[in-house]
Amino acid sequence: MKFVATVFALILFHFCHDALGAQTTVAEVNGSSVYSTFGAFDVSGAVDTSTGDIAIDVAEFGGMEVGLAQVDFSNTDTTLEVELQIGANNAAGSFVVNMTDFDGVGSDSLDIAEVYQYRVDLNGLSTSMFQTLTISLDNSFFNLDEFESSTDADDGVINYGLIELGLQSEFGSTDRLDVVVRRVSVVTSEPSTGGGPAQRYIVSRNGRLQVVGNRVMNQFGDPACLAGCSLFWSNFSEGAKFYVSETVDKLASDWNAGIVRASMGVEDFGGYTWNDGEFATREVNKVKTIIDAAIANDVYVIVDYHSHAAEESTAEAVAFFDEISSLYGDNDHVIYEVYNEPINQSWSTIKTYAETVIAAIRVNDPDNLIVVGTPFYSQNVDVASSDPISDPNVAYTLHFYAGTHGQSLRNRAITAMNNGVAIFVTEWGTVNADGNGGVATGSVNTWMDFCRTHELCHANWSVSDKDEGSAVVLPNLGVNGLIGDELTASGIFVKDIVSDWSNFVGKTVETEMVARQIFYNGSDFDGNNPAPDPSDADAIATDKTPLLFGQTAKFANYSSYVHGINGLLIDLEGSWSGLDESDFSFRVGNDDFPETWQDAPAPLSISFAAKAGAGGSDRITLVWDDGVIANQWLEVKILANEKTGLSADDVFYFGNAIGECGTSTTDARVDANDVSAVRGNLSGFFTVDVVNEFDINRDRRVNATDVGIVRNNLSGFFSVRLITPTAGSGKRTLKRSPNIGGKLSPGRRFIEVGR
């Protein structure tokens, strides 16, 4: 299937299917992209994205740009795809797509940032429909070269790094350019290096973490029990090499990590404050890399001030966390750990330091979770719990090493929780406290049971290739060893724990289907917005109900909407561990035997909105192109599997007969009766509501336009049948685990809308 890298603040992910040598979309511009304009495009109305597409209408030179997170890919068999429609006023023969390449740090290429321009020929294209043009990357006319076509001079590595896509009219042109661009995609048959960010859907589903009583909860008050990994000291060579995005990609997609920890060294050699801050910028940039990668993978990230004497650098800590919180404070992904492991400092000293740093963070970020280290290597959580910090969203650090620590340390944690504070295990090891020794399998299992019972988040130490027992990668293999699963005994054991954490935590909860609803996507009732958003709820056809197995269809089961079936909402009371298009099946037909129907067009997108459905249920939104499912029936099947938690497939049907107003009881035939019915119910100066059966285009008015639509869709010898489907689902009960560390499929095309 196509994999669409997350490169914008908001983007729709388009479906495609698994195939040998399948094409991969590594970057895309559409109407939801964040962009800036220049030249004539600065004229009001010259660029309009209100419909979800990019409508461009300019009479002279101008352009727009989309800044991207760097996207790396090979140019082997790579092309541009431009989906567009010519406007009625267009006089231009072409326009230009810009691709800006950045070779990146370590490159010796003189062309560190090179703009490649590709001409889109508009001659002979139709004004009546969208068309997709494919353009090879070897025909750039600006620099007469293909996009990053040769290796760098000295290092022998092609550092493909697309950092910007743009559109513009031809330089010097005075012809009017009038086009609607649906998307510009960079499509390749080669995977992006490092695998790209995995769509983990952890933070989007759960939002900001918060302390409620003595637990860390998600935004909706459900227990958070995340499993993940801590990187090694950023300033030492065994750890520094892992401060790259590929590390987080691997941990999120293959290890199922719901959380990663960036452990920035402070006072030690090469650290943030060492030698009067000589390497401060370098260390901060490493942390930013991990934060950015965590956001791209939709997992949580602990920003750890990895110090044993943080109170000695209070001013520097304030400056660091001020910078991070000002940059990332609006992201629910970020958790601040202001002190790693005090040693012999008193709690009063630690608390005074922590309160100073917390105050600086709260200026920029009033509500993200903060974790504070506790006395004696973050073990004496009971001491801290007797005099807690007043900030309401603070948890307290517990560190353990299974080869050294046992029940006495767990007792301290129990005391702390009984005193009403929340605990966060930001670091734990499978071996002895000095990092060496063999894996203490029995003790680890006891500790994992403890974390499960008390719903504690935890991150294993450490992602490194240091020659010691606690490292997860074999010595001297670096990030390639991580990606290639060349792991130590501890690494193999920890990967199993983190990957299967959904098997360690949570209890079975039964939930049921709340609602299956059709809505008029892109109508006046949802603001004429084809993209999924909360306004879709205003376009629900409340007079329509799904057809189920064994029932005979009636007018309540099909719509008359001119755009066919282009939007469905599915509400479930509860949640699941992760879904993608493979968890659904769609077929279309017009008889009683759905098993013989053909595959339906895949939805453009599936989106998820937590707690947005009826009664606070979770909502899934499915969106199709206008008109691709019209004048027929659609079968929707949610498959029973481990990810959905369904004990049986859930199957339902909706139909569409454009212009049919319910005038026939034997079939959904559109005929003269429907024309007369619409004519007889013209709304004049008044508007109508969403359930008015005569408003065929759902623009809130019944007028000559609706009459014309009916006339143009008369059934003739064909009509939509009132079917009685002979195959369907049994029970419709969900079983799911409420924890948020569950394993999710990496191929998902979910986006979040309106929590």
Count Cβ neighbours within 10 Å for each residue of 633-666 and write b for 16 or more, e otherwise: bbbbbbbbeebbbbeebbbbbbbbbbbbbbbbee
Active-site position among 164, 316, 341, 468: 341
What is the token pair recorded at 689? 């509501």
Residue 317 and residue 604: Cα distance in Å, rounded?
46
Q: Would residue 148 be called left, alpha or beta, if left means φ above 0 and alpha means ψ between -120 and 50 degrees?
A: left
H or E, element range at 708: helix 704-711
Which residues are paired to 217 by β-bridges? 210, 223
Cβ 750 vs Cβ 6: under 8 Å: no
Beta pairing, strands 62-71 & 36-39: antiparallel
What is the token pair recorded at 507? 């209890």
Residue 563 and residue 713: Cα distance in Å, rounded?
12
Active-site position among 148, 164, 427, 752: 427
Nearest-10 crossing angle of helices 441-454, 489-499: 20
Three-state DSSP class for residue 667:
strand
Close Cβ partners of 163 (under 8 Å, ≥ 6 residues apart): 67, 68, 70, 71, 100, 101, 102, 113
Residue 73 and residue 68: Cα distance in Å, rounded?
14
Cβ 556 vs Cβ 663: under 8 Å: no
Close Cβ partners of 413 (under 8 Å, ≥ 6 residues apart): 381, 382, 398, 423, 450, 454
Specify the amino acid at residue 360.
A
In the residue annotation, 283 being an active-site residue is answered as: no
In the residue annotation, 427 being an active-site residue is answered as: yes
Three-state DSSP class for residue 551:
coil
Cα–Cα distances in Å, from 498 out to 224, 258, 261, 458, 491?
Answer: 15, 9, 14, 10, 10
Which residue pairs from 703-712 have beta carbons closer than 8 angstroms and sit at least 24 positions apart in sequence? 706/678, 707/675, 707/678, 707/679, 709/562, 709/658, 709/659, 710/659, 710/661, 710/670, 710/674, 710/675, 710/678, 711/675, 712/659
- Residue that is written with structure tokens 């992602």 in the block: 463
Which residues are paired to 568 by β-bridges? 518, 622
Full 3-state SS string of 29-47: EECCCCCEEEEHHHCCCCE
Residue 564 and residue 523: Cα distance in Å, rounded?
12
Which residues are paired to 187 by β-bridges? 25, 79
According to DSSP, residue 473 is labeled B
Cβ 40 vs Cβ 60: under 8 Å: yes
Beta pairing, strands 650-656 & 394-401: unpaired
DSSP characters for 282-303?
A: HHHHHHHHHHHHHHHHT-EEEE
- Residue that is written with structure tokens 């790579």 in the block: 78
Closest CA to 375 of 464, 308, 302: 308
- Residue that is written with structure tokens 């606690």 in the block: 470
DSSP characters for 499-538?
A: HTGGGTS---EEEEEEEEEEB-TTSGGGTT--S--GGGGG
Annotated catalytic residues are 341, 427
